[in-house]
Amino acid sequence: MTSISTVLLVWLVLAPLSSRADGLRAAICSPDGRNAIDLRVASEDADQVRYTIKRDGRKLFGPSPLGPVLNVGRPLGEDARIIDVQLGSIDESFTLPWGKTTTAANRCSSAVVNLASGDARVQWQVELRAYDDGVAFRYRLLPQDRLGECEIQDEATQFDVLGEPQALFNTLDSFTTSHESLYEHKPLAEIPANKLLEMPLLLTWPGGTAAAITEARVRHFAGMYLQRPVEKPATFSCRLSPLPSRPDTSVVGQTPCESPWRVVLLADRAGKLLESNLLLCLNDPPPPALGDFSWLRPGKTSFHWWYGAFEDDYQPAAARHAFLERHKRYIDFCAANNIAYHAVSGDGRAWYSQSSASYAAPSPDADVRRARPELELPKIIDYARERGVGIRLWVHWKPLSEHLEEAFALYQTWGVQGLMVDFLDRDDQEMNEFTERMLASAARHHLHIQIHGSPKYSGEQRTFPNLFNREGVMNLEYAKWSDGVTPAHSVNVAYTRALAGPVDYHLGGFRSVSRAEFTPRDRAPVVMGTRCHNLALYVVYENPMPMVADDPSAYEGQPGFDFLTEVPTTWDETRFLIGEPGEYVVLARRQGNAWYLGGITNWTPREIDVPLDFLSAGEFEATLYADGSLDESLPNSLSKQQRVVTAATPLHIALAPGGGFVAVIRAQ
């Protein structure tokens, strides 16, 4: 990786005109002057530290308190005073091994505010940053005799919202969760009180201004949630995930102790937030000890579990040959169709040794170092290697954690290239630290990781590029047992979970049915939304390793499969083109000299004019895959057309109920 960095830390007398500081206040603006965050001590409010966020001079949040609640007393932000302020700026760029863009620009104004609080004069800092696409802040407890070890109970930070925005959000029942639930679109005042709210949470004001609240660089700390107090309908309080063994404590550690960044992404339209790399900018580059990541190979993957191809195979030895032959069929399919990986989970029970027959509940004797001999895993790996297909293994996190380094070293000798690690279902400090140990160990053994039962991304893929994707969203696996994953839900995901990073969605459903015909089924599940809608998800969602989750028989000879085999998984450039939260979304992503467009709608049919003004001058050839019928009862109908397009003329598209489109545009 390369970077060019200029970091200026200047004292007050050298502060840039866009920033200011005095004894009670520090304020910074983004390089373009549109976003601002300031921090002050409100002496009229018990010396409470408060922050305010503005865009174009309009106050969107605050004044709001911030800071931790230590186990030794009241919130640290109370009875505080500012000691001094250091103002500065960052101007750098860095390359990405994969992502929505090839490079990321890290440009912002910054401030470090030194504070002292309480009778003990506890020393701490608040760091502020203002970017063109959002603002961020974090707090840091400094080394000091009176606070060698710190214990953080929770967080006093709030987001006090101004105006009357609409909110797009999902709720969770507890801190122990798969992070998979449906979204709601409601006025701010109608958000349920005292429910845990997942992040990112999207707010849109009349006129289009959009903000998404989330976090970045969650390391050695607890994950954060939002909650609306009963008595404050326009306030989000922060809640930290507690330690499993200490429900009254969230973080334990030595000083210096640093919180994740609390982030507010900002834009004129909600869809523009999808272009942001801000979460990556707030994370660290890979540590040198992990070496380079030139071995990484993004690409699509099969996953036989979704179709259920092997779940009947758990029976005596007579089924062994059938199990091997089915895997060979998948591997041949991958090799023939530009699908880099094939995933192996098991045959109704895990591929590794354990007495439990459950994927979700491993028994104490589970041993991820011992493959069940009847499954002939070495033959599967050898067969895939000969055909240039990488093998990935599914594994439950708990037995993996007991033999982490040994198991990864063993997998590397076997020739395994990656893993799906499942059922974490937590983001407390302990689980987050295990995840980091897992990613570091996997990097040393040249293994990529996919996490299911997972919290959202927080930009940590910059530090650990071998983290290819996370689930953390209700997705098309639910087609096996629920009717919740509708086209409307997929649109909502684009404006919420997708703002945090890649979305692992069990893509590739090629048997679409109408709403009236849909019935969940475990074997050979069907999906809602048109075929073009499901193709468009490969463009709408960032994902360096998207699934092709259906059985090979569902794809062979089918219209639109040629697009699935062609569409890239990493991008040089990403543009939001048109859309509205809860309604529809259209994105364009470029790799090399080709643009790939993808658009999806909810159940509302619509005609849209997609602007092509991102193209350069001249004529281009567009291959368009559009809904072949506007009749919801014909969701697999697909029309493939060739058109000549220019930057001056929008692309007119008719979308069926639950419809979509994809297009590939190249210079003639």
- pLDDT tens, position by position, 638-650: 999 999 999 999 9
* Residue spans of alpha helices (H) in 88-139: none
The per-residue pLDDT for 15 is 35
Kindly give, in sequence order, each residue whose CB lies less than 8 Å from that of residue 439, ignoring residues fewer than 6 positions away: 449, 460, 464, 466, 467
Q: Model's pTM, two decimal places?
A: 0.95
Residue 41's alpha-carbon distances to 15, 114, 116, 528, in angstroms, are 20, 12, 11, 53
Determine the Cα–Cα distance for residues 636 and 642; give it in Å rounded to an integer: 20
- CA-nearest of 403, 438, 402 to 421 is 438
Cα–Cα dist 113/126, whole Å: 5
Going by pLDDT thresholds of 50, 70 and 90, the confidence category of residue 317 is: low
Strand, helix or coil at 581? coil
Report how far apart, in Å, the C-alpha atoms of 23 and of each of 48, 81, 139, 482 are.
Answer: 14, 8, 19, 57
Q: Evaluate if residue 4 carries a pLDDT over 50.
A: no
Residue 315 has pLDDT above 60, yes or no: no
User: 260: which DSSP letter?
Assistant: P
Question: What pLDDT shows up at residue 161?
Answer: 98
Residue type, 615: L
Chain mean pLDDT for the chain: 94
What share of the chain in percent tops pLDDT 90? Answer: 90
Q: Over range 103-111, report the average pLDDT.
A: 98
Tokens encoding 107: 């440009």
**H/E stretch holding 531:** helix 531-540
pLDDT band at 309 (very low <50, low <70, confident <90, very high): low
Looking at 68-72, 498-502, 539-543, 609-613, which range is the least confident one? 68-72
Question: What pLDDT is stored for residue 410 in this prediction?
Answer: 98
Look at residue 104 and give its three-state secondary structure.
strand
Q: Can you tell me the mean pLDDT for 261-265?
A: 99
How many other CB atoms sit within 10 Å of the CB of residue 528? Answer: 28
Q: What is the pLDDT of residue 45?
A: 73
Beta-strand runs (E) in 244-366: 251-254, 257-258, 261-267, 301-303, 341-344, 352-353
Across the strands, what pairs with 216? 261
Averaged over 403-412, what is the pLDDT?
Answer: 98
Distance CA 11, CA 9 (A): 7
Min mean pLDDT across 291-300, 313-322, 385-394, 562-571 is at 313-322
Q: Are strands 257-258 and 224-227 parallel, antiparallel or unpaired?
A: unpaired
CA dihedral sign of residues 405, 411, 417, 420: negative
Please report the pLDDT score of residue 316 as a whole number. 52
| Residue 142 DSSP code | P
pLDDT (0 to 100) of residue 322: 81
Cβ–Cβ under 8 Å, residues 457 and 473:
no
- pLDDT score, position 311: 53
Q: Per-residue pLDDT tens for 53-106?
A: 999 999 999 999 999 999 866 789 998 999 999 999 999 999 999 999 999 999
